[in-house]
């Protein structure tokens, strides 16, 4: 890390201290994420160092940019699948996550790039793609985990719905469907409080780069609305796919 970045030697001390604080808080709260916090921090350092090199090549052509976004989608799909599978093992879950994340991301990116809302160049498409894909991944993971957890916890109600003639997809959405909306709360709260509680990265980055606050605000608005759309599509897709999936018996399965 260069010392002229404003972080300097102090970051070498402070960042490990922050990780230690997070681990301690996790342990005191019995979150069972002690190891995960350390692993995530180490991976972030290594991955960002590698990405810094790879992005340089990806930005040289539109095909390189698209290839990098495809890599993002692949990693996001695998990550969501692993997280959701820890709640309930569902056949075909990898494909479901790919459809939810890929569908939500593709719709939003195409609507932003094709009309020229976002400049059609690698330097604009790549960061926007990363933001959208990351949000779609989070929404997919949260929706999948909440839906399957609710299905397991209320399996008796699911069976009761079947007994009165509802088809499995309708019974699933009746019992578990309402909780899927929780997955959109982070994006909703970020949008509702923008400028009041947080100053998002796109806005701050543009202002620090010399853009006017008005131009920065316009871009940030595009990002926030795009996140809501991508997340909503991903949640809808995950709900519909899980409702039609061959789900295990909720009374006997374990994570």
Calculated CA dihedral for residues 188, 191, 195, 196, nearest 10 degrees:
-20
Q: What is the pLDDT of residue 255?
A: 47
208-239 pLDDT, tens digit each? 566 666 777 777 788 889 999 999 999 999 99
Pairwise CA distance, residues 236 & 242, whole Å: 10
- At residue 199 the predicted structure's pLDDT band, cuts being 50, 70 and 90, is low
- Which residues, in sequence order, are CB contacts of 221 under 8 Å at separation 6+? none
Cα–Cα distances in angstroms (integers) from residue 249 to residues 88, 189, 246, in the given order? 10, 35, 9
- Say what the pTM is: 0.80
Q: Compute the chain's Rg from CA coordinates.
A: 21
38-76 pLDDT, tens digit each? 999 888 888 777 777 777 777 788 888 899 999 999 999
First to last CA, the chain: 41
Instruction: Tell me the domain boundaries of the chain.
Output: 1-58, 61-243
Contact 112, 128 (CB under 8 A): yes
Contact 117, 215 (CB under 8 A): no
Q: What is the pLDDT of residue 141?
A: 96
Contact 174, 160 (CB under 8 A): no
Least-confidence region, from 33-42, 49-58, 75-84, 88-97: 49-58
Q: What is the pLDDT of residue 3?
A: 39
Pairwise CA distance, residues 145 & 81, whole Å: 10
Tokens representing residue 146 in the block: 């909440």
- Which residues, in sequence order, are CB contacts of 182 under 8 Å at separation 6+? 142, 143, 146
235-255 pLDDT, tens digit each? 999 999 999 999 888 766 554
Q: What is the pLDDT of residue 8?
A: 64
Please give the mean pLDDT across all residues of the chain: 85
| Three-class SS state of 194 | strand
- At residue 1 the predicted structure's pLDDT band, cuts being 50, 70 and 90, is very low
Indicate if the pLDDT at residue 81 is higher than 50.
Answer: yes
* CA angle 39–41–42, rounded 5-degree value: 65
């Amino acid at each position: 890390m260069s010392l002229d970045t404003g972080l300097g030697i102090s970051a070498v001390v402070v960042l490990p201290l922050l990780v230690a604080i997070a681990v301690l808080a996790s342990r005191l709260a019995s979150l069972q994420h002690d190891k995960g916090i350390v692993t995530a921090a180490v991976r972030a350092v290594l991955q960002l160092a590698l990405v810094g090199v790879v992005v340089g090549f990806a930005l040289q052509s539109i095909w390189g940019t698209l290839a990098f976004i495809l890599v993002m989608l692949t990693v996001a799909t695998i990550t969501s699948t692993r997280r959701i599978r820890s709640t309930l093992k569902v056949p075909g879950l990898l494909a479901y996550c790919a459809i939810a994340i890929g569908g939500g991301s593709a719709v939003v990116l195409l609507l932003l790039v094709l009309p020229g809302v976002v400049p059609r160049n690698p330097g604009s498409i790549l960061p926007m793609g990363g933001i959208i894909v990351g949000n779609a991944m989070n929404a997919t993971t949260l929706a999948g985990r909440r839906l399957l957890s609710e299905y397991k916890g209320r399996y008796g109600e699911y069976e009761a719905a079947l007994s009165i003639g509802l088809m499995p997809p309708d019974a699933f959405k009746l019992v578990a469907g309402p909780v899927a909306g929780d997955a959109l709360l982070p994006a909703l709260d970020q949008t509702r409080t923008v400028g009041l509680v947080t100053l998002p990265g796109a806005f701050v980055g543009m202002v620090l780069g010399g853009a006017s606050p008005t131009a920065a605000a316009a871009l940030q608005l595009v990002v926030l609305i795009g996140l809501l759309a991508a997340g909503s599509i991903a949640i809808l897709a995950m709900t519909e796919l899980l409702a039609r999936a061959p789900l295990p018996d909720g009374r006997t399965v374990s994570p």
